[in-house]
Amino acid sequence: MDQRLADLLALLELEQLEVNLFRGASRDIGAPQVFGGQVLGQALSAAAATVEGRVVHSLHAYFLRRGDCNAPIVYQVDRSLDGHSFANRRVVAIQHGQQIFNMAASFQASEAGFDHQVGIPPVPPPESLADSSGPPEALLARLPERVRRFFEQPRPFEFRMVQSIDYLHPQRAPPQRQIWFRAVDALADDEMLHRRLLAYVSDFFLLDTATLPHGTSFLKPTLIMASIDHALWFHRALRVDDWLLYAMESPSASGARGFARASVFARDGRLVASAAQEGLVRARKES
């Protein structure tokens, strides 16, 4: 397996300290704090470790404090419900004695029912698009060291953007974006594994969509951005080692908060998941 993906799988595996208590390592990907997708994936791993015979179908999470990349994170699981069809878990992530994150997740046994969905948007296939997992070398050389380190980190996913992005010179654009993505190598046939990885990667790009109508980006020193919450709904079986389309839109920004939502489509057009996120999008006050 590609080492980048193997490292991510190892990161999402937790050490069990006690019943309902787990510990995960932290990883510095060049951001000022622990990447939110890491905490989402690890919290989902902790919750799933206490559930049998069911697979996660939804999660709702809040980011409370910045995570420290240089310290482990402890995950405490509350077994809220073990019903006939559903199980519910609450997870609290703790670092340096404080809650940095909490999440509720619901799991369901496989069950048949009504079936309908919206259609996949008409976009070019991923093979026709350039690999945009990182910016061009010419752009890298012009970025601040902190930002350059973020982009130079080896990524376990590859991305192909339908709309090109100029982070240094952003232009006003409609609040919509589509990106194809997939893991860099093949993975085992484990539905829970693929859903944990989708939780991890779903934190890329989503909140950025709220900046598009305003001609700015997270690289601008005058902009402060941070995730507040994150929600995921898993609709159908999925594979993150095959191309998935992340179709994002931002219906609203107000009160120094940006809201974005997304549909995740499989290559064959199936709607496999939906996501939503609200985050702090604040113009820095001039001193």
| Residues known to be catalytic | 203, 227, 277
Nearest to 157 by CA among 110, 108, 204: 204
Please tell me whether residue 47 adopts helix, strand or coil conformation. Answer: helix
Task: For residue 241, give the amino acid letter.
Answer: D
Cβ-contact 180, 129 below 8 angstroms: yes
∠ CA 20-23-27, rounded to 5°: 145
* CB atoms closer than 10 angstroms to residue 166: 10
* CB atoms closer than 10 angstroms to residue 159: 19
Nearest to 4 by CA among 182, 147, 208, 149: 182
- How far is the C-alpha of 267 from the C-alpha of 253, rounded, in Å? 30
Distance (Å) of CA 134 to CA 2, 31, 137, 149, 217: 18, 15, 9, 11, 16
- How far is the C-alpha of 270 from the C-alpha of 182, rounded, in Å? 15
Distance (Å) of CA 115 to CA 34, 112, 267: 38, 9, 18
Rounded to the nearest 5 percent, the helix, strand and coil shares of the chain are 20, 35, 45
